[in-house]
Amino acid sequence: MTLLSKKVKVIPRKIIKDSRGWFLKVIDGFEENLPKYTGEVYITSGIKGESKGGHYHVQANEWFTLIEGKCQLKLVDVKSGEKLLINLSSEIPETIFVPNNVAHIFVNKSDNNFILLAYSDQLFDPVDTIAYMEF
């Protein structure tokens, strides 16, 4: 084993697949050599005709960037009920900040799959993920 191969870490990852697409957590916050505080980085895909998300977080804030395809991001402020619709396309790169207590769902109405990159400022906690489908 070389000196460099002792420094570099290869970290196995798990892809979760279902009928809507796939999900890959890229950084889970438990890796060696991270700063004292790190959230999570993940990539998810959305199959045509399917939706991803459909929830909100009481604590977590998230940032989303569509890196392939097109989709609609539907948002609802769960406290005020205000709604917002954002059409996303990887051809027009944008990062969308979604604060806590804003429900979000990514709807794929196109003929192709989409790929979405996301960062959460919190580590995953199922108690902080509240299902919401009133978009």
In a domain, 35, yes or no: no
The identity of residue 104, as a single letter, is H
Let me know: does 40 contact 119? Beta carbons within 8 Å: yes
How far, in Å, CA of 29 to CA of 26, rounded?
Answer: 9
pTM of the model: 0.85
Which tokens belong to 58?
Answer: 């009481």
Between 30 and 75, the higher pLDDT residue: 75
Ramachandran category for residue 29: left, alpha or beta (phi over 0 → left; psi -120 to 50 → alpha):
left
- In this prediction, residue 36 has a pLDDT band, given cuts at 50, 70 and 90, of confident
Looking at the structure of the chain, the number of domains it has is: 1
Between 70 and 10, the higher pLDDT residue: 70
User: Domain span at residue 48?
Assistant: 3-29+40-131
Query: Tens digit of pLDDT for each residue in 106-117?
Result: 999 999 999 999
For position 50, what pLDDT does the model report?
97
